[in-house]
Each structure stands twice: as C-alpha cells, then as structure tokens.
Amino acid sequence: MPNRLIHETSPYLRQHAHNPVDWYPWGEEAFRRAKEEDKPILLSIGYSACHWCHVMERESFQDPEIARIMNENFINVKVDREERPDIDAIYMQAVQAMTGSGGWPLTVFLTPDGEPFFGGTYFPPQDRHGLPGFPKVLLAVAEAYRSRRQEVRQQAAQMATYIRRVMALRSPPDLLSPQVLDEAFRGLKAQYDAQFGGLGSAPKFPQVMAWEFLLRYHLRTGHPEALEMVTRTLRAMASGGIYDHLGGGFHRYSVDRLWLVPHFEKMLYDNALLASLYLHAFQVTGHEGWAQVVRSTLDYLLREMRHPQGAFYSSQDADSEGQEGRFYTWTYQEVMEALGPQLGKAFAIGYGLTPEGNFEGRNVLCLARSVEDVAQEMGLEPSVVGGMLEEARARLFALRERRPKPDRDEKVLTGWNGLALAALSEASCVLKEPRYREAAVDCARFLLSHLVCDGQLMHSYKDGQAKVPAYLEDYACLVHGLLLLHEATFDVGWLREAVALARQMISMFWEPQEGVFYDTGPLHHPPIARPREVLDGATPSGSSMATYVLLRLSAVMGEEELRNIAVQALRGMRELMVRAPAMAGHWLCALDLSLADVQEVAVVGHRHDPRTQALMDVLHSHFQPHRVVVGMSPEEAGTGIPLLEGKTALGGMPTAYVCRNFVCREPVTTPQDLARQLSQP
C-alpha cells in the first residue's frame, strides 16, 4: 500500500512511496497533525543521486519494525533537498550547529512548530562504527519529547534563535580593493595540493569557482603560479577516475587525494560548471586536450541528461544493479575478453587496469600512462597506439551501453539548467559548434515556456507540473545563461528576457536596508527564518551569481543602480573572501569584475554571416571575463538595449563597436581592426 509520496513528482520522494513509513511531503497537513497528536516531527532530507540516502532507505525505512517505531512516535516528513533548498538550508544549519558536521541524508527532529531540537545525518539500523542504531535514536528522542518537554522546547527555541541570527549575519560594508584578491590568492595557495592538484586532501571536490577565480587572477596579475595551480588540477581531474573516460562527464567528487576513486553520481551542475571551466582554460592556454574534455562533457549531457524537449535532467545515481559504481567499473577479465590480448594489453597499460583492481575488486579507469609510454612498452609507434586506444574506448563504451544504467532523476531544475545553458552557449562560440547553440536555444525555450506560470518563474518541473516558486539561484543562473545565449545568437529577445528577470530578481530577493540578497522571496514561506546561503559550494551561491550578473547587466544597460546593488552586496562579503576563499570563489570572480575596466562590444550583423563570425572569432579567441558582448541584425531597431542603440552596419558590412562606459571608438568592419582596438589600453 503506497503512502502519500506516491502523489509527488520528485523521483526521490517517489522512491520512498512504498516504504511502510507513513511519510508526508513537506506541508501544512503534516504540521497540523503533529499539533493535533502532540508528536514531534521526524524530518528526513536527501536527494535522488545520494548513495547513503539509498542505504538508509534500504536499511531503515523499508524495515517494518523501524517503520512501526517511526509511525507510532513521530509525524514523518520527507523532503527532496533539490526541490526545496530553502528547507534544507535551514535544517542543515541546525544540524551543523548541533553536531559540528552535516551531510545527506539529513535527519532532524522538530517540534510541531518546526523548531529543531535534535539531529544528525546517516544512522545505521544497529549500533555500528561508533554510530548509535536508528531505533535507539528514535526511542530516546521520543522519550525525551514525552518526559523532558520543557528541556526540549528550550533547546528548540534556542536553536531557532541561533538560525535566525545566522541567516541575518553579514560583515561590515568594507571598501573593496585588489588587495582582497591578493589575500584570497595567498589563502588558496596555502590549501593547494602541489603534488596532485586540488585543495586540501581527501575527499576532493572540483571546487570549480576557486579555479575560475585563479584564471582571472592570472589574467589580472600575470602570476604564473595561479595558472599552474589551475592547469595541474585540471590535468589531474581529467586523468583521474572522477572523469568518465568512456562516456564523458565528471562524477561528483573523489574519495581520495589522487582523484582516482569517485563517488559515482553525476550531477548536472558539476558537468555544466566543469565544461565552462575547461573551456576557459582552453582559451587561456590553447591546450586542445581541454577543448576535448569540454566536448565530451557536453556531449554526455546531450546524450544522457536531456529532456526530449530540450531541458536537462538533474542527476544520475551512483548505484546500479545494487552496487555503487557498477556501471562504470570493469574487471580485468571483462576488458581482456572484450578487447582481445593485444588491444586489451594496450588498454590495461594505458588505463591502469590490474587483475586485483583498484575499487572493490574492479577497476576505475584512469589515464595511468601516456600514449608514448604505452607505445614504448609495447614496441609500437605512438600513432598506432593512439588508434588502438581510441578503438578500445569505442568498443568498451558500446559494451557498457548494454549494462543496466544508473537511475536518473528527471526533475528539471531552473538554476542548474541556467548553468548548462551558459556552458552550451559559450562553447558554441568558442568551439564553433552550432549543435551546442541549437541545444542552448531549445533549453531556453523549454525553461521560459514550461517553468513560467502566470508570469512567475518556477523552480522545478516534472511530469508536466512546474512546482515551487523560483529561488534567487534560479533567477540568477538563468539570467547568466540567457546573457551568454544572446551572445551566441544575437537574438535580442533573450537579452530582454534576462533584463526582465533581473529586475524581478531585485524586487523579490534584494533587501536594500540590509544590503543583502535572500534566497527566498514573498512567494515562499520558509520555516523559522528566511534563508540566505552566501557560501559558494558545489554551485555558486544565489547571492554571488546575482551580484555577478548585475555587474554584467549594468555594463549592457548603462544603469548605475544595478552596479550599486552589486557593489553593496560585495562589500558585505569582504571578510568571507579573505578568510575562506575556497568557499567564496564566485564572489571573488564578481569582485574581480567589479574592479576591472570593462570592455563593452556591440556587433551589428547577421550572426550566421561568415564576416560576422570572423569578428566574433576575434572576441572568443582569448578568455576575456571583463568584456560584455551584445549583437543584433542590421534590420533591428528600437531594441531597448542602450549598448545597441544607434549602432548600424557600415556600408552593409558587419560592424563592431568597442566601448568603455558607453563611449565608443570608431566602428570597425575587419577582424584585424577589431583585434587592434581590443588590445589597446
């Protein structure tokens, strides 16, 4: 007999629909019943690709006896953190304060008013590895709620007060200078793993925004060490097991310092952000290997993660056939049987395969040896070995495609799709891949048609339903993607949509008296406190992305007010950028942009005209994060975009206008003249 979650669209919630637990989705019904029956709420938060969420579901939520204890003593509420990041942010803050750490699955016990009084993460079904068994925890909490009610209420009230204070916290509005960037660089350098790349030791996350900042810092200062930190890390990730060498794309993080054994889930946001990072590294270095990583990552998204109508799904599971990493790993024997002795030997040497394996008796593929090393060991020419390895990868990929695939969370999330939209749009320009531009257009059309209801942007879509009003992150990331899509297409409609969404974003999430963005707006009703996440983690925080896109839009629209809001938001983050640069990478990118002499470039011409393309090739030949580019066809007039007003095509030729603070140089029509103007101070 299914429980209430059977009526939800979230794949994560529906995975629990046949548990014997009497689950409720988050909502008034659960809290009303908790008050009527005077029971505490057991709140369990996770997401579809979370390995340990699946483990706890199998071990505890499917167990009839544990379910009986839960049902008798608690009102049980399940939340998909990707669908309700506001709820997750509040209660994660509580558990971190209570225990010193957090993660998923998140297990929190609340009063009927939603105030947390006890919590943790994963609990095993019996005492194990120093963790108390879940039944023991349940009975102890239930007994405390019955017999020590005053103590529980006091603890809950104190925790609620703490959360409200944390969510409203900000630094003094300090003045900003390039010195902040210098201090942040030194802070990242102190955490850098000079041997294997990345920050810190195991586990290692991609930390994309930190490397984006260091690319910008290298451009600003010419500091060679900043670039070396980025390129060593990118080489290590692209060679390691965190990268899927057969199918493209990246897993979520590495459990070891070497980037060898990953947590095998694949997330849309990781792959969108990493595609953009490798693209920028390609522009800086010209290293063709980085361009190939971009192509394989975006091709993975188009092949495996695309909704039939153009948007992108959220994630793929770590598990398949009941085992973590089963889809992606190989036994030595499987490979040799598939490839034969000669091809198998070359592949085993190149990709580090052994009979013993490097992961639970199986092998995670990694680039263990160069083509030249394999050729030398086998007594063959490198060109021959290169062809052999390419054939081996193709054969193994075809064989892997026959395996049962990991489950896919088919929610469409607006913010994460905005990141994918940005990556596809920019890659279409830099790599001259029209299919990426076409995919970006399809994605944007889907978002603006299926995730806008009665003029209101929504957060999540599945099974024909758009759910939950959009958060700050959704607005900011979608504006970011639309700005880059306009650059890729010259369709002024995308630019107008970006401007309209940005204005809506300010009205809903910006608090001018406090000088901060909040993650929720007037259409949300979060419990306890209005959440405000400022740390740049696996994705840019909504606040840092909002700040970044307003700086770019201020250069397009010539509106000082947009820039003033962004600078005000930045000033409150100075202490974070200096003290914790690894958690403020996108803030640092925004600060770098705010301190830069921004180039404004307007191009008038048909986007598909080879002459227009020649001008755009000049603009995309190098990484220039301090430049904004807008364009339109010669026939267009009255765009409403100040940077495009009064611009015409000279003599019918595609024409570029290079401007600073809306003061433009003489228009140019040749790539050579454009390159000359761009290089002039």
Q: What are the residues facing 355 on neighbouring strands?
A: none
Burial class for 404, CB neighbours closer than 10 Å (0-12, 13-18, 19+): exposed
Mean pLDDT value across residues 100-107? 91
> Does the pLDDT value for residue 399 go beyond 70?
yes
> What is the C-alpha to C-alpha distance for residues 23 and 2, in angstroms, rounded to an integer?
10
Residue in 475, 491, 473, 476 with CA at minimum distance from that of residue 428: 491
User: What does the pLDDT average to over 356-377?
Assistant: 96
Kind and range of the H or E element at 543?
Answer: helix 542-557
**Residue 144 near residue 554, CB atoms below 8 Å:** no
Kindly report the pTM of this predicted structure.
0.94
* 426 has pLDDT over 70: yes
φ and ψ at 497, to 5 degrees? -60, -40
47/678 Cα distance (integer angstroms):
46
In this structure, what token pair is assigned to residue 500? Answer: 């309209």
pLDDT of residue 175: 79
Average pLDDT over residues 478-486: 98
Share of the chain above pLDDT 70, in %: 100
Going by pLDDT thresholds of 50, 70 and 90, the confidence category of residue 146 is: very high
Per-residue pLDDT, 185: 98
User: Per residue in 641-666, pLDDT tens?
Assistant: 999 999 999 999 999 999 988 788 99
Q: List, for residues 215-267, the tens digit of each pLDDT value.
A: 999 999 999 999 999 999 999 999 999 999 999 999 999 999 999 999 999 99
Q: What is the mean pLDDT of residues 557-577?
A: 95
List, for residues 572-614, the tens digit of each pLDDT value.
999 999 999 999 999 999 999 999 999 999 999 999 999 999 9
pLDDT number for residue 171: 67
> What does the radius of gyration of the chain's CA atoms come to, in whole angstroms?
26
Cβ atoms within 10 A of the Cβ of 190, count? 10
Residue 88: count of CB within 10 angstroms of its CB: 23
- Check residue 527 and give its pLDDT: 83
In 10 A of CB 276, how many CB atoms? 24
Give 547's DSSP letter. Answer: H
CA atoms within 13 A on the CB side of 364: 23
Using CA atoms, how far residue 135 sits from 7, 61, 132, 461, in Å, is 28, 11, 9, 36
Q: What is the pLDDT of residue 94?
A: 93
- Residue range 290-311: mean pLDDT, rounded: 98
Write down the residue that tokens 């201020």 correspond to: 554
Which pLDDT value is given to residue 639?
Answer: 87
The CA-based dihedral angle spanning residues 555, 559, 560, 566, taken in that order and rounded to the nearest 10 degrees: -70
pLDDT the model gives residue 170: 67
Contact present, 255 and 219 (Cβ < 8 Å): no
Length of the chain: 681
- Residues 6 or more apart whose CB falls under 8 angstroms from that of 44 comprise 61, 76, 77, 78, 79, 105, 106, 107
Q: What is the mean pLDDT of residues 372-393?
A: 96
- Report residue 84's pLDDT band, with 50, 70 and 90 as the boundaries: very high
pLDDT for res 173: 73
